[in-house]
């Protein structure tokens, strides 16, 4: 990968110029304009400021030291930018070595280290909703990226399978269940009675102008809640009947979740939900008390924080009735993971509304002496526009229905492409089974890519037309670019020779640079927990592939044929690997 080789050289130069090492190093960045070379290095400005010298003078001192086979030209531009142009022969050589590496030259920064990725984590007895779909997409992409970078990866599905919702559900089950409906659609019936419990106990909202409950109604609601709490307590004390119900609800939910995961091509290494930690929470609280981290407040045990951002947000770790909560469970989970897996990094993927919860958790962990790199990879809301789904039950969108819709729409796209080929006089070349398979890859890929190609920390609105478009930054465009490339390379009939690449045309050079930047983009995505950085890059890469494909003769390229085929084959591998890191299923024809 270019920057690593360059990075080390420049880091050494920077250090020599700044012997006390007080000025933070600044790495090179790709230039946006080819006239400024391939990479730009702006470190001179930082150093000049610290040393109170002119940036130009500092740049002049630095530039002379940049002597490396990879760097053909290092020039100062403007007040002190250093522009680097890389050597074509060396670029071609790097391309060949990247082609020989299944990790695509991705630096193995995780070698010998373990990372835990806590993602998806839906709640039992409710359907997975689209928020959990985002967590699953993002978490799974981060999982794949860490694995590719050499980490031992533990994907952990921290499902919500314990707590007060079960008392409500057990009460509802005992009083309101409809056996026939349960047989026909178990999770749907559980959801119905759970929702009913919520409605039966809902307090009127005066701000919405709702009149207060009559004393009888209010008393009834209180009684229901009390009964549900009693059921929860019975469950927690190990009551056989309630435990059996809990297991039954678990089985029903896991079946639903697993159906979703198999469609999404997602597997977990462990599924340790909240219940896995239920016997640890008393010890957790005892330790927090013993270490003076938790203090008593109105009968409950809480943790207060010094950090300005958390000063007004103490968190309860043990309620007045002795029960633990979400945070207590997460402290236990943290402890368990560190003891059993010794990770250097723990990444937890949830929506942005849990930022406070995880800031508190991480602050507690720090106070307990945890030094692991803790990351809360949070994301914004995903919005489906009104009427986006033809199948809707109540207000809840089943993920499997969403997937079916995506695949059905993708199937129409596949037919469209086939019809276009027929119009051009080409023979139909896809069987029905192939069309189904392609539609699955394209439809599921479109949903996934529409999510992953956005900055995670923004709200995303789904649009079928946009995500299924054959043009623009979409899965169908990327997958189609890939498939056409495969077809082209297959027509060549001879294997591409990675050593044959010679960069002659500017379009070839740009493509080579883009191919080489793939691991760079993957690393940036991994480090910032932003898969969209890789997605953006793959879009750029596809554009450059298509330009070479269209604007330069390849099969009829004469003396350049071998070189172009090899370059395009390297690009094909980069595109395929990058898409797979994002969790897309790549297909060879479309
Ligand atoms: N079950 C939670 C939810 O649906 C997410 C759990 C995330 N992981 C964790 N360790 N708390 O929001």
Residue 57's domain is classified under what CATH number?
3.30.1360.70
250 domain-assigned: no
CB-ligand 1 contact for 136 (6 Å cutoff):
no
Query: How far does residue 518's CA lie from ligand 1's centre (Å)?
Result: 32
What local confidence, expressed as pLDDT, does residue 236 receive? 87
Element holding 223 (H helix, E strand): helix 215-236
CB-ligand 1 contact for 118 (6 Å cutoff):
yes
Among protein residues, the one whose CA lies closest to atom 6 of ligand 1: 121
272 domain-assigned: no
Query: How far does residue 180's CA lie from ligand 1's centre (Å)?
Result: 32
Q: How many helices (H) and strands (E) does the chain have?
A: 20, 13
DSSP state of 393: B
Per-residue pLDDT of the chain (590 residues; tens, 9 = 90+): 565 677 888 988 999 998 887 888 888 888 888 888 999 999 999 999 999 999 999 999 999 999 999 999 999 999 999 999 999 999 999 999 898 899 999 999 999 999 999 999 998 877 777 878 999 999 999 999 999 999 999 999 999 999 888 999 999 999 999 999 999 999 889 989 998 999 999 999 888 899 999 999 999 999 999 999 999 989 988 999 999 999 999 999 999 999 999 999 999 999 999 999 999 999 999 999 999 999 999 999 999 999 999 999 999 999 998 888 999 999 999 999 999 999 999 999 999 999 999 999 999 999 999 999 999 999 998 887 666 554 434 456 788 888 999 999 999 999 998 998 889 988 777 899 999 999 999 999 999 999 999 999 999 888 899 999 999 999 999 999 999 999 999 999 888 898 999 999 999 999 999 999 999 999 999 999 999 999 999 999 999 999 999 999 999 999 999 999 999 999 999 999 999 999 999 999 99
Q: Are 99 and 40 in contact (CB under 8 A)?
A: no
What local confidence, expressed as pLDDT, does residue 77 receive? 93
What is the domain range of residue 405?
A: 399-581
Query: How far does residue 122's CA lie from ligand 1's centre (Å)?
Result: 7
Among protein residues, the one whose CA lies closest to atom 8 of ligand 1: 158
129 domain-assigned: no
Q: Which of 117, 119, 121 to mutate to test the pocket of ligand 1 (most atoms within 8 A of CB)?
A: 121
Q: Are 136 and 204 in contact (CB under 8 A)?
A: no
* Location of structure tokens 């402890």: 335
Q: CA–CA separation, 551 vs 256, rounded Å? A: 49
Among protein residues, the one whose CA lies closest to atom 5 of ligand 1: 121
CB-ligand 1 contact for 337 (6 Å cutoff):
no
Q: 381: left (phi > 0), else alpha (psi -120 to 50), else beta?
A: beta
Query: How far does residue 414's CA lie from ligand 1's centre (Å)?
Result: 38
Instruction: Give the atom of ligand 1 at the shortest distance from the alpha carbon of 357.
Output: 11
What local confidence, expressed as pLDDT, does residue 4 receive? 66
Q: Are 151 and 375 in contact (CB under 8 A)?
A: no
Among protein residues, the one whose CA lies closest to atom 11 of ligand 1: 330
What local confidence, expressed as pLDDT, does residue 392 receive? 39
Residue that finishes a domain, picked among 46, 68, 86: 86
Residue that finishes a domain, picked among 86, 101, 120: 86
Query: How far does residue 400's CA lie from ligand 1's centre (Å)?
Result: 21
Print burial letters for 476-494: b (CB count within 10 Å at least 16), e (below 16): bbbbbbbbebbebbeebee
- CA 503, 562, 534, 407: dihedral to nearest 10 degrees? 150
335 domain-assigned: no
Q: How many domains does the chain have?
A: 2
Specify the CATH number for the domain of residue 479. Answer: 1.10.730.10
What local confidence, expressed as pLDDT, does residue 394 receive? 46
Using only the alpha carbons of the chain, give its radius of gyration: 28
What local confidence, expressed as pLDDT, does residue 388 receive? 58
26 domain-assigned: yes
Sheet containing 373-379: give its strands across.
152-156, 114-118, 345-351, 373-379
433 domain-assigned: yes
What local confidence, expressed as pLDDT, does residue 75 receive? 95
Among protein residues, the one whose CA lies closest to atom 9 of ligand 1: 158
308 domain-assigned: no
Which residues, at least 6 apart from 323, have a Cβ–Cβ distance to it below 8 Å?
Answer: 236
Q: Are 42 and 28 in contact (CB under 8 A)?
A: no
Q: Are 508 and 548 in contact (CB under 8 A)?
A: yes
Which residues, at least 6 apart from 544, have a Cβ–Cβ distance to it below 8 Å?
Answer: 507, 510, 511, 514, 571
Residues in the chain: 590
Q: Are 117 and 154 in contact (CB under 8 A)?
A: yes
What local confidence, expressed as pLDDT, does residue 395 receive? 52
Q: What are phi and psi of 333, to 5 degrees?
A: -65, -40
CB-ligand 1 contact for 123 (6 Å cutoff):
yes
Residue that finishes a domain, picked among 62, 86, 110: 86
181 domain-assigned: no
Q: CA–CA separation, 569 vs 499, rounded Å? A: 12
Q: CA–CA separation, 440 vs 424, rounded Å? A: 26
């Amino acid at each position: 990968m270019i920057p690593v080789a360059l990075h080390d050289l420049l880091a050494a130069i920077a250090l020599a110029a700044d012997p006390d090492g007080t000025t933070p190093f600044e790495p090179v960045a790709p230039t946006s304009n080819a006239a400024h070379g391939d990479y730009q290095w702006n470190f001179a400005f930082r150093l000049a400021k610290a040393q109170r010298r002119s940036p130009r003078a500092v740049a002049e001192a630095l530039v002379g030291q940049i002597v490396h086979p990879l760097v053909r030209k290092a020039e100062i531009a403007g007040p002190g930018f250093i522009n680097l142009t890389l050597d074509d022969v060396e670029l071609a050589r790097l391309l060949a070595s990247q082609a020989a590496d299944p990790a695509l030259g991705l630096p193995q920064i995780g070698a010998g280290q373990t990372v835990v990725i806590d993602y998806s984590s839906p709640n039992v007895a409710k359907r997975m909703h689209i928020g959990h779909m985002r967590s699953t997409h993002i978490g799974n992409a981060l999982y794949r990226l860490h694995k590719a970078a050499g980490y031992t990866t533990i994907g952990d599905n921290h499902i919500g399978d314990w707590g007060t919702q079960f008392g409500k559900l057990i009460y509802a089950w005992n009083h309101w269940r409809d056996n026939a409906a349960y047989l026909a659609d178990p999770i749907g019936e559980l959801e119905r009675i759970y929702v009913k419990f919520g409605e039966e106990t809902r307090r009127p909202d005066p701000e919405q102008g709702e009149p207060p409950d009559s004393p009888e109604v209010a008393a009834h609601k209180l009684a229901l809640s009390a009964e549900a709490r009693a059921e929860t307590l019975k469950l927690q004390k190990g009551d056989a009947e309630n435990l059996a119900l809990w297991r039954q609800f678990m089985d029903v939910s896991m079946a639903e979740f697993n159906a979703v995961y198999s469609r999404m091509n997602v597997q977990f290494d462990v599924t340790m939900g909240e219940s896995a930690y239920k016997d640890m929470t008393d010890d957790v609280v005892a330790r927090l008390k013993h270490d003076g981290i938790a203090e008593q407040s109105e009968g409950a045990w809480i943790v207060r924080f010094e950090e300005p951002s958390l000063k007004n947000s103490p968190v309860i770790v043990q309620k007045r009735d002795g029960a633990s909560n979400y945070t207590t469970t997460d402290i236990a989970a943290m402890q368990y993971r560190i003891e059993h897996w010794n990770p250097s990094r723990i990444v937890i993927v949830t929506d942005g509304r849990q930022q406070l919860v995880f800031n508190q958790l991480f602050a507690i962990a720090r106070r307990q002496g945890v030094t692991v790199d803790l990351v809360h990879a949070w994301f914004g809301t995903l919005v489906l526009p009104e009427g986006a789904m033809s199948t809707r039950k109540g207000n809840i969108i089943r993920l499997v229905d969403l997937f079916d819709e995506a695949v059905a729409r993708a199937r129409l796209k596949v037919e469209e492409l086939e019809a276009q080929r027929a119009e051009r006089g080409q023979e139909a070349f896809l069987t029905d089974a192939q069309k189904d398979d392609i539609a699955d890859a394209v439809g599921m890929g479109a949903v996934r890519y529409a999510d992953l190609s956005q900055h995670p920390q923004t709200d995303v609105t789904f649009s079928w037309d946009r995500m299924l478009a054959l043009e623009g930054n979409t899965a169908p465009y990327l997958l189609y670019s890939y498939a056409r490339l495969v077809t082209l390379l297959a027509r060549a009939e001879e294997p591409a020779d990675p050593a044959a690449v010679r960069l002659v045309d500017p379009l070839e050079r740009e493509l080579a640079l883009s191919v080489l930047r793939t691991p760079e983009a993957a690393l940036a995505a991994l480090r910032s927990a932003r898969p969209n950085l890789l997605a953006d890059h793959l879009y750029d890469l596809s554009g450059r592939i298509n330009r070479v494909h269209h604007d330069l003769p390849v099969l009829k390229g004469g003396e350049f044929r071998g070189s172009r085929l090899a370059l395009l084959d390297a690009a094909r591998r980069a595109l395929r690997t990058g898409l797979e890191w994002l969790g897309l299923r790549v297909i060879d024809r479309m």
